[in-house]
Amino acid sequence: MSTPFHLHNKTVLVTGASSGIGKQVAISCSAMGAKVVITGRDEKRLAETFSVLQGEGHSQFVCDLMDETQRNNLFDTIPAIDGYVHSAGVVAPVPVKFIAEKHIRYIMGVNFESAVLSVARLLKNKKLNDAASLVFFSSISVSYPYAGGALYTASKGAIEAYSKNLAIEILPKKMRSNVVVPAMVKTPLYEETKNQSMYRSAEEYESKYPLGLGMPEDVANACIYLLSEASRWVTGINLTLDGGFSIVK
Ligand SMILES: NC(=O)c1ccc[n+]([C@@H]2O[C@H](COP(=O)([O-])OP(=O)(O)OC[C@H]3O[C@@H](n4cnc5c(N)ncnc54)[C@H](OP(=O)(O)O)[C@@H]3O)[C@@H](O)[C@H]2O)c1
């Protein structure tokens, strides 16, 4: 039986592919038949991801997406793509009283600005093939805020709003834009944030997940759906992945 849930004949660019969710998205996309273009800042960890991709024809680019020259070089160099997954992201809790310009620049810069400017460059350079699918990451913390999370959740709320507007502008080429909204996924970012929630311990927090914490594979599978023909009728949505967190909380 043929399946629409594959990525054969597609080239997919994954940012943040040197770690966590982005790394797994790249690996899973390659397993589903895609040629994958991966990017991240850490050369060694990016090369580790590259070494475990399945199939052939992949490429890797070390790039700091906050550096305009490096970012533009990347989007001038890569081949045309059918899928874009923006997994580059940072989390840095700051109580509202102590928010300074540098925090806004850093968090909004990576989580929002770099995504927006990357897509602008992709469109200007005609690097998005017709019917391309774009995927961004928000966080369930937009709906379930936490102390210190004002900037992080604001950056994710911004990307949700941006994606819906983008979805309208790219409709004529049958391109699609969607947002995956995960709750806690076991990645290095989780290790940084697990003790910053309102709960007394990581164990108490984890007990709020009837289906357990998410794994990078769970998020990668959702991305494969959104990148594949199986989701050709889906655009402008936020797809929540939370292991039941929001129904029992
Ligand atoms: N993990 C979770 O529980 C969770 C939940 C909800 C949403 N999310 C979202 O999912 C996305 C991925 O999270 P993750 O857990 O996989 O995080 P992660 O393991 O910390 O990985 C973050 C990635 O972003 C890249 N990055 C950071 N700053 C960059 C910059 N200036 N230029 C280029 N790349 C940059 C890092 O590259 P280097 O390491 O090479 O510097 C790394 O590859 C983020 O947007 C995050 O907000 C995660």
Contact 17, 46 (CB under 8 A): yes
pLDDT tens, position by position, 98-130: 999 999 999 999 999 999 999 999 999 999 999
Q: How crowded is residue 106: how many other Cβ atoms within 10 Å of its Cβ? A: 17
CA–CA distance, 24 with 110 (Å, rounded to integer): 20
Q: Is residue 3 part of a domain?
A: no
**Residue bearing the bigger pLDDT, 202 or 15:** 15
Testing ligand 1's pocket by substitution, the residue of 187, 191, 196, 218 carrying the most ligand atoms inside 8 A of its CB is 187
* Number of domains the chain contains: 1
Q: Is residue 88 part of a domain?
A: yes
Q: Is residue 93 part of a domain?
A: yes
Q: Is 207 left (phi over 0), alpha (psi -120 to 50) or beta?
A: alpha
Atom of ligand 1 nearest to the CA of 141: 6
**CATH no. for residue 191?**
3.40.50.720
CA–CA distance, 20 with 194 (Å, rounded to integer): 15
Q: How crowded is residue 112: how many other Cβ atoms within 10 Å of its Cβ? A: 21
Phi, psi (5° rounding) for residue 130?
-55, 145
Atom of ligand 1 nearest to the CA of 65: 32
Q: Is residue 5 part of a domain?
A: no
Q: Is residue 249 part of a domain?
A: no
Testing ligand 1's pocket by substitution, the residue of 15, 27, 38, 41 carrying the most ligand atoms inside 8 A of its CB is 41
pLDDT tens, position by position, 3-51: 999 999 999 999 999 999 999 999 999 999 999 999 999 999 999 999 9
pTM: 0.97
Q: Residue 38: give the domain boundaries.
A: 11-240
Q: Whose CA is nearest to atom 1 of ligand 1?
A: 185
Q: How crowded is residue 140: how many other Cβ atoms within 10 Å of its Cβ? A: 18
